[in-house]
Amino acid sequence: MAEETTNQVSVSAENIVAKMRAHPFAYVTYYLGGLFIFLVSYWYGYMYTAAGLLVLIASEVLRRADTFFILNEGISRNFSLFSTKHIFTGYDQIRTVAVSQGPIDRIFGIGDVRMTTVGLDEGTIQFSGVKKPYEVAKMIEARLSE
């Protein structure tokens, strides 16, 4: 479980520089799996119809539950479903910013932005499946140099 840093700030409208969620293409594997199960239900029974719909709905709910923020004082990742997990770190605690994209991610224009930090148990905060990851990394790096 991640610890919150001591310089915790609130996520408010005037404090937000950018707000993003994972792009739907980041979950395309889950969507296609749910669709496949749904379509196979025609031959194997209606119980699979419910399972396919459940996979589709759960994928979208999980995607929407994870929110990434670039704030004036730092970066934040919030996951709110049944409970809330909030990770925040200030720009002074970020050591590196790295972008990773697979071949399919490059086609869709999505990727992961990983910030290595000091002061968190996990050591990294990752924005997964964001659109235009290099622009997101540049926004963070611009704030680091200030």
Per the structure block, which two tokens stand in for 135? 């622009």
Amino acid at site 27: Y
47-80 pLDDT tens trace: 888 888 999 999 999 999 999 999 998 999 999 9
- CA-nearest of 13, 14, 12, 17 to 91 is 17
103-128 pLDDT tens trace: 989 999 999 999 998 876 778 889 99
HEC readout, 39-76: HHHHHHCHHHHHHHHHHHHHHHHHHHHEEEEEECCEEE
Sheet holding 124-131, edge to edge: 94-100, 110-117, 124-131
- What counts of helices (H) and strands (E) characterise the chain? 4, 7
Cα torsion 5, 18, 13, 25 to 10°: value is -100
Could you give all domains of the chain from N- to C-terminal order, each with its CATH number? Answer: 16-145 (2.30.29.30)
